[in-house]
Amino acid sequence: MEADALSITTMQDSFKGLLKVLASVKNYDWGCPAKQSCVARLYSLNSGGNIDENQPYAEFWMGTHESGPSYVVEGGGRTENGYADGEGVRDRCTLKEWIEKNPSVLGETVLTKWGTQLPFLFKVLSVEKALSIQAHPDKDLAILLHKEQPLVYKDDNHKPEMALALSKFEALCGFTSLEELKVIVQTVPEIVEVVGSALAERVWYLNDDDGEEKVKLVLRKLFTEMMSASKDVITEVLAKLISRLNIKNKVRELTDKEQLVLGLEKQYPADVGVLAAFLFNYVKLNPGEALYLGANEPHAYVYGECIECMATSDNVVRAGLTPKHRDVRTLCSMLTYKQGNPEILYGTTINPYTTRYLPPFDEFEVDRCILPPHSTVAFPSAPGPSIFVVMGGEGTMTTSAEVIVAEGDVLFAPANTNITIATSSGLHLYRAGVNSRFFEE
């Protein structure tokens, strides 16, 4: 059924309620096995489709990006057999198309700033195996990369993002402090073997008086030399590293990062990203903690499950821990080379059941709402649109009408919509919306 044939609400019929949508799923190699994957469970409940137990389930996408579009569920009911109409023909109306026909649902301020594109992309991730060492380009670089390599860089937008832990969650994020970097170069001889003793000495003799730009210049040289090393050199050096760590493990307990490196090498043998992991901060989040990443910052999610929100983009520049396309030159040239631990967000309580996470980006914020049995909470109207995903339990969401919701449901809420959420048995959900600070400017 084509979009034009659907009974879609028009601008003249201004939509006021909640719109149920079908999300998309990604079966990337690093995802969790189906039986252990939160993403697989959500997708099955959301779509009504069957889960392939031989496939990994990595990402659950909610938004308007063409690489993983969401679809409108006509009539607001649950789906059957993976199709919005339950009859084997997927509804052709994407959420993007529906918004383009109903632009007022974005609110005037959002529409003026971003047009009919939903400014944020909302995801759930299930990470069994480390993702690539990567960074996301800023707006100017994204435009250039998309123009030069449109099949690799599929849009022209930047991609700041935030990960909010659902479980214990591990990530590599940003470069270590200068103090730690000097210790690493002194205690990991394999790094010196790759980059050379002259460059290693430049690192050893750096100090805080040298100034930020000089430190960045040396760090950039070190990282670029490492990432550009030949496959043969990296294979030989990693064999020495793993042998040395296994011997050390018999006489002392390895550090967290040494243990991480051993694990990464099993996942990605002879990969330069294993050695590069020493240069990054190894961050461990507890459930309810979040970290955010600006443009041109290196990172790699390592393990766990999280809610992720970002500007609407799928641009990724990779250089290690991946079988996918690597663009080492671009990655090494684009990074900021800032050092130090990333900021951890613990959220701000906005009511007894809801915590809000506000990164320093206009496009998005995330609310975490955990309702105990026999409770009610109000989400006051916001000037921009929202997407809700129900992670557990069941209840009702009421605007002008009441909608019954349960685990796996994804709902789009137009701008300026008051929502009351109630449950008798308990309900766990997340909301993504445009950053509320954006409307205060």
> Which residues 6+ apart lie within 8 Å of 36 measured at CB?
126, 128
Collapsing DSSP states into helix, strand and coil, what is residue 238?
A: helix
Q: Which of 41, 318, 356, 431 is catalytic?
A: 318
- Secondary structure (DSSP) of 379-392: E---SS-EEEEEEE
368 is catalytic: no
Query: Cα 117 vs. chain centroid, distance in angstroms?
Result: 19
Name which of 224, 408, 188 is nearest 328 in CA terms. Answer: 224
Task: Name the token pair of 39.
Answer: 């993403």
Q: Which residues pair with 184 in a beta bridge?
A: none
Query: Cα 18 vs. chain centroid, distance in angstroms?
Result: 25
Collapsing DSSP states into helix, strand and coil, what is residue 237?
A: helix
- Distance, in Å, from the CA atom of 345 to the CA atom of 65, rounded to the nearest integer, reads 26
**What is the C-alpha end-to-end distance of the chain, expressed in Å?**
43
Considering just the CA atoms, what is the radius of gyration of the chain in Å?
Answer: 23
Task: Name the token pair of 325.
Answer: 């396309």
Residue with tokens 């050390």: 248
Collapsing DSSP states into helix, strand and coil, what is residue 212?
A: helix
Residue type, 243: S
Consecutive H or E run containing 194: helix 189-195
Strands of 321-426, DSSP E: 344-345, 348-351, 354-357, 365-371, 375-379, 386-398, 402-406, 410-413, 419-423
Task: Name the token pair of 36.
Answer: 């252990």
- Distance, in Å, from the CA atom of 157 to the CA atom of 114, rounded to the nearest integer, reads 11
How many CB atoms lie under 10 A from the CB of residue 226?
Answer: 23
- Distance, in Å, from the CA atom of 135 to the CA atom of 351, rounded to the nearest integer, reads 35
- Distance, in Å, from the CA atom of 231 to the CA atom of 237, rounded to the nearest integer, reads 10
Consecutive H or E run containing 314: none
Which residues are known catalytic residues? 318
